[in-house]
Amino acid sequence: MTDKDGGFYSAEDADSVIDPAKPEEKGEGAFYIWKQEEIVQIAGQPAAGSLTGTASSRTENVANDPQEEFKGKNILFEAHTVEETARHFDKPADEVRAALAEGCPKSCWRRVSKRVRPHLDDKVLSAWNGLMISAFAKGGAILDEPRYSVAAARAAHFILGRMYDPKNRDAA
């Protein structure tokens, strides 16, 4: 969601193609959701459990789904620490760490190569970028994380270089 020169884009469509063979059929979050079986097949256990936070009796991790669009589906995220996952599956932490390192890149590659990405709204809005710059700058300082500070600086340079004209400032 970042321009090559550092500005932050405004949005990505919520609806995306469910099946590439039927591009007219779209669903909420389709690009980002997975069935539990897919995750286990690609990443294996215990990596799948760590990425979804689901136990063997549960098949989805979306808690608030009023239209039941995500029934039986998952959104990948780091649900548990490596140590928690290792304890749950009675595996050594190094084995879980290795499974995640191997499973996650496979998952991402499979998703990128087979799914249709949602439409990107590549508008760069100065107000929203101001919020992102502030958040990344504070995060970089508080967390002592240089990549956040770099992202803030790049976006600020983008805004000042492309979207700010000191000659056309409002007198107010």
Q: What's the full length of the chain, in residues?
A: 172
Alpha-carbon torsion 159, 160, 163, 168, what sign? positive
Mean of pLDDT over the chain: 84
Please state, in angstroms and rounded to a whole number, the distance separating the CA atoms of residues 158 and 73: 38
Q: What is the pLDDT of residue 172?
A: 45
Q: Which two tokens stand for residue 37?
A: 């079986």
The least confident of 7-11, 67-71, 133-137 is 67-71
Decide if 51 contacts 33 (C-beta within 8 A): no
Query: pLDDT tens digits for 12-46?
Result: 998 889 888 999 999 888 888 888 777 777 777 77
**pLDDT greater than 90 at residue 151:** yes
Instruction: Please list the alpha-helical segments (H only) found in 90-125.
Output: 93-114
Angle at 4 between CA 121 and CA 110, to 5 degrees: 70
88 burial via Cβ count (<10 Å: 0-12, 13-18, 19+)? middle
Query: pLDDT tens digits for 49-107?
Result: 777 766 554 566 777 778 877 887 887 777 788 898 889 889 899 988 887 777 666 66
Q: What is the pLDDT of residue 10?
A: 93
